[in-house]
Chain A
Amino acid sequence: MGIEGVGARVARKEDKRFITGAGRYVDDMVVPGMKHAAFVRSPHAHAQIKKIDVKKAQGMPGVIGVLTGKELKADGIGNLICGWMIHSKDGTPMKMGAWSPLAVDKVRYVGDAVVVVVAETKGQARDAAEAVEITYKELKAVVDATKALENGAPQIHAEAENNLIFDWEIGDANATDAAIKAAAHVTRMKIVNNRLVPNAMEPRAALGHYDKAEDHYTCWTTSQNPHVARLVMSAFYNVAPENKLRVIAPDVGGGFGSKIYIYPEEIVCLWASKKTGVPVKWVADRTESFLTDAHGRDHVSTVEMAFDKDNRITGLKVDTIANLGAYMSLFSSCVPTYLYATLLSGQYDIPTIHANVRTVYTNTAPVDAYRGAGRPEATYLLERTMEAAARELGVSPAELRRKNFITSFPHQTPVIMNYDAGDYAASLDAAMQTADYAGFAKRKADAARMGKLRGIGMSCYIEACGIAPSAAVGSLGAGVGLWESAEVRVNAVGTIEVLTGSHSHGQGHETTFAQLVNQRFGVPIDSVSIVHGDTDKVQMGMGTYGSRSGAVGMSAIAKALDKVEAKAKKIAAHLLEADEGDIVIENGALKVAGTDKNVPWFQVALAAYTAHNLPAGMEPGLKETAFYDPANFTFPAGCYICEVEIDPETGTTEIVQFVAADDFGNIINPMIVEGQVHGGIAQGVGQALLEGAHYDASGQLLTASYMDYTMPRAGDLPSFKVSTSNTPCPSNPLGIKGCGEAGAIGSPPAVINAITDAIGIADIAMPATPSTVWAAIRAATKH
């Protein structure tokens, strides 16, 4: 692999600037004449806008403009859209209500943007925002998705009767019902997946700059996919044609999904820049982040899992209600459908599955993909149910899983997915061995002597990454293709720029992508620059989410490298007067295999650009472009084991051991992979033990700051024991499966299985805070 090649633990090139505070984020961008925006947001969860009076605000010091939704509509700016069409089972299209970037007639959640103020300073903009007088007529609000479906619930959008957006199904209902009827045992559960706030370290921000002379717009924004932002703002929101709109996503401080979507603020900053004639910057404060970043999860499900007399699963029936909040965010519809229900087979050979999913409007922040996006919800449902089934059946949770594992590949599940490769027993065995599963009984007894309740829980997850084959997702309703593009530019001195449509906001692409180039050409990674995040530099790209940058983004780079390699070999063969097929690349030189004849890499590059001596008919230059469209999803999988000790007096849970055995396929940089797993588990443990977004009945977000919303801290987490096994992915040229979300997907059920095991109860709500655990212990001991 070489010291900088594929498989090497190379320190991240980008960390120097991040660690020294030299990163360049949207808030660091300064444009001459730049002014500042503040949004006037709804204090109500549901209300009619009766009157907006901006006169007083317009007269405040430093104010340049006070703009409303009416003016925005008059300028032809479009509504925000959800880009994935889902049809209900009766064939009707999803019922998408209008989402104006600035609310016009009605507000639908606390934080809904109504008016924007542009002023000389941020403080003046805020002062003037406070002076905007809006008269509301408050309406009854509903925050709970189940209640929103009830007759008589407040009607949030005229388009969606009873707040139902779609009623969708997948799988075979009749066969599944029959399997449940014929079962020797049926495990039934109600599964709640708690709502989470993403909490990227860098809040969302946008800087819109309209250049009147050029009739051209530039938008700096905190985006995981700047090209998608440009496409959507151009094609759907009518901000500007694509050729007149440049979107730049510079250093971005974490996304976790929440920065995939196009939000009202970047549209408004661009429009307001033209309207006021000045560049307009907005940076969210933390309260705005809590209120308006797309939240994650928030599912309520019932599940029935049928077993035959040999404890083999014969069928799975799931009914889910998913809360999508007040508006349909960009990919909100695919999260509880194609990213969720298609994973309900898990690692198990299940002959028949049926899932019904209803998505619902409520007076809460929009809900969309958050690290894992649908797959954590599927895994939590399945792995909690497997655990409950093992306890009901009186068998070991590990053996019940093992008995039902899929063991031959490819495997077609009853819910679309075709698993290409995997070895689930290998991960289970590795995790159980690392965790000393066999020694648990003794540890439990030792803990009991100390007055502690010790429990162990496992989770065998599978996820689908590398999204996705464009034709496949197109047939399922996606509005875009999910390929990736790459361009490899070899400079005349042999240094290399790789332009990628993937976007790095914590993933370490500047290092791993360079390692791939080093592996191929032997060029030091310091001589390889990764260029991303700018629509003027990179032609097109679909961005980073769904653990796709390795499997899809790097595959596109590999394809471009193939082309560069082929041309470089032609040039070298010509220079060395050898046969092209005999040229190999070794130690930074192109040589004739089995001889000393060679030409260094940089000389080949120079030859390509001097063009003094190229093969006849060859174009000068050494630069190639490739688009890669994946052949299939990839299927990372693994086994997580969590061991906890609970202090019954206070309900405090301590994670005493956490083992992760993952199969990510081939790995470029093990250190970065481990970092991804650590971060993912931290977020998964956060969901299980600490994090929960709570709205009161009137729609006020009670957990709108770190005083009330608990983020995981280092002290909440043990030192993780992580390992990987490796079944290369057959569906892409690099054999990569993806690792970005696994930790967040696999860990919550392992934690909750351990807690319920420790207490000896069937279920406990997430987050299992000390207060919740104490109440559960008290309830259990009363019986």
Chain B
Amino acid sequence: MSDDRQSQTQLEEFAQAQGLRVEERSFLQLLGGALGSFFRTKPLGAAGLTLVVVWSIIAVGTVGSGGGWLGLGRYDSQDVFKVANANFADDRIANELDGKSADISDSELRELLLQPEVYGDLAEQSGVLDDMLEYAEGLIASGTLLTHLAEFDPAQIEIVDGTINDVDDLLATGTNTPLTTASLQGPSGKHWFGTDRAGHDLFSRVTEGARLSLYIGFFATLIGVVAGTAIGLISGALGGNIDLAINRLMDALLSFPPIVLLLLLRSVTEPSALWVTLALSVLAVGPVQRIVRGAVIALREMPFVEAARTLGATNARIMLMHILPNIVAPLIVIFSITIGAFILAEAALSFLGLGTLDVSWGKMIADGRQFIVQSPWTSLFAGLALTSLVFGFNVLGDALRDVFDPRLRGSR
């Protein structure tokens, strides 16, 4: 402490003698300064950083139900929306519903149906319940089990062994219902990006999709880069036969086309975010190991390493204290580029139906593909979101590479 104070005084004296001014800067100020110069010198990279930050905020903001705790998603991504059925035969009920709302969510519908007057109307006048009954009887006749039918209470109807397990689905399946699923709608004031086939609001799903992409992209890269760095340090430090063996193993890993390796790994694991993350992280190990090993071998003969060795530092200490800090720059560059690639890979897996069960951009593109003519919105917006996020990481990576490691420029 006193040493610091002393050197501080010396510095000030020296500065005064030279006619210079000494300013103290906190870490935040330094960071701000670095960011400022980054924004000035690398506008494209700065745009990428902005995109990444915006998507990250969206991803965090949509955690939770009903549009997320920040309300960024506007609606719950699982909410099924209904619209009045134009083909509904009974004018009275249709008018009544029309007057209430032209476009309501399923929770609102449930409330509406459970109101005695509407419910009574439905039962007596519209034949909706008759339809439901008829349909249910058909299911019983064909061997599908239907329980709790006697109550005639829509909320209580539950079909155990069929695809239908919700009263909304049951209503949607009947031919003569006052409300129908708001499927494949175009963009509107209520649904900014339109709705998908199941009647979900697309905007809320696109914003929620960012979460999975960022989560898997970030953690897969983190695990992969850490593992690759560790292996690279070991093989670079030890050399000899161990290095040879590790290199052959990495060669073998790199011999599989990434998507093939992914398919293989995914086919033997479960469809959870954890396994997708782990499968992806395997892909990063090989390339990271190569780069780290190359850097270690180059640094090993540097004078400062030799100095440390002469002072009696162990191999582990040299690696962790002297070499690792010197390869942080290329690692940061690899990190940002790999995240982009992994987000694409996760989308590809989901597109193939091998991803997770959560809301995912890849799955949305695949869903939208089947109705691409009637409604291109599902695929369009999910793809645009995906492209913008990957674009953000790519240009950010390019810019970071230019800043940290000019030698790597143009290698990709």
- Do A and B come from the same complex? no
